[in-house]
A and B are shown apart, each in its own frame.
Chain A
Amino acid sequence: EVQLVESGGGLVQPGGSLRLSCAASGFTFSIFNMNWVRQAPGKGLEWVSYISSSSSTIYYADSVKGRFTISRDNAKNSLYLQMNSLRDEDTAVYYCARGTTVTVYGMDVWGQGTTVTVSS
């Protein structure tokens, strides 16, 4: 079964750090581009970051640029999101999502999400 499972969410104080992980299974992780997408409570979807299959191409939303770092370990079938200098507005459910084989087609497999709460 094709599956993505996020972990690492939790409660953190403003200015703190957190590292999210996404474990992939059921498909050849190393050939797929990956994304992080978040959803604040009661709000819509916000794309956060993209990493190509070989890690050669990376993009970030302006709202997280300079604070978040996306990475992957193809040998471990894992995707990561290092989040530093966290702000209240980073509170959200964070989803990892697989890019389709054709990059412009969207995101076809999503994890169940992990919740990040930034609060003092």
Chain B
Amino acid sequence: DIQMTQSPSSVSASVGDRVTITCRASQDINSWLAWYQQKPGKAPKLLIYAASSLQSGVPLRFSGSGSGTDFTLTISSLQPEDCATYYCQQANSFPRTFGPGTKVDIK
């Protein structure tokens, strides 16, 4: 199975700051990586697919990059509504696996 790791586990930043989250796969997953945002008590929401493609309706301040084993999610200017936990997920093979999550909050 492909193991996914994320760093940091949590980040606290000010409104307007640039926030970067890293995700690493235990083996090459090409560009088949998705990012999800989950707010407390809510279902996850797809933000990015295929490592860098923005899902329809997602604000342009979100972006993704990477391929192979190393990926990043960047929030270019953090907004209060971005407080959430962010998960990466590999879609290259089954079983699908998620990273442990990164909690983002406002300083």
Question: A60 CA to B1 CA in the complex, in Å?
Answer: 12
B44 and A110 contacting across the interface, CB-CB below 8 Å: yes
Which residue on chain B has the smallest CB distance to residue A99? B91
B87 and A62 contacting across the interface, CB-CB below 8 Å: no
Which residue on chain B has the smallest CB distance to residue A57? B94
Residues of chain A lying within 8 A (CB to CB) of residue B95: 47, 59-62
B62 at the interface (CB under 8 A from A): no
Residues of chain B lying within 8 A (CB to CB) of residue A37: 44
A contact residues, range: 20 to 34
Which residue on chain B has the smallest CB distance to residue A58? B94
B98 and A108 contacting across the interface, CB-CB below 8 Å: no
B contact residues, range: 20 to 34
Dominant SS at the A interface? strand
Of residues 25 through 82 on chain A, the ones whose CB sits less than 8 Å from some CB of chain B are 35, 37, 44-47, 50, 59-62
A44 and B98 contacting across the interface, CB-CB below 8 Å: yes
Residues of chain A lying within 8 A (CB to CB) of residue B97: 47
B92 at the interface (CB under 8 A from A): yes
B34 and A106 contacting across the interface, CB-CB below 8 Å: yes
A107 and B46 contacting across the interface, CB-CB below 8 Å: yes
Interface membership of chain A positions 93-108, coded 1 if the CB is closer than 8 angstroms to chain B and 0 otherwise: 0010100100111111
Which residue on chain B has the smallest CB distance to residue A106? B34
Chain B nearest CB from A111 CB (Å) reads 6
Of residues 71 through 107 on chain B, the ones whose CB sits less than 8 Å from some CB of chain A are 87, 89, 91-92, 94-101
Residues of chain B lying within 8 A (CB to CB) of residue A113: 43
A35 and B96 contacting across the interface, CB-CB below 8 Å: yes
Sample of 19 A–B contacts (CB below 8 Å): A37-B44, A44-B98, A95-B43, A104-B32, A104-B50, A104-B91, A105-B50, A105-B91, A106-B34, A106-B46, A106-B49, A107-B44, A107-B46, A107-B89, A110-B44, A111-B43, A112-B42, A112-B43, A113-B43
Q: A residues bordering B, Cβ < 8 Å? A: 35, 37, 44-47, 50, 59-62, 95, 97, 100, 103-108, 110-113
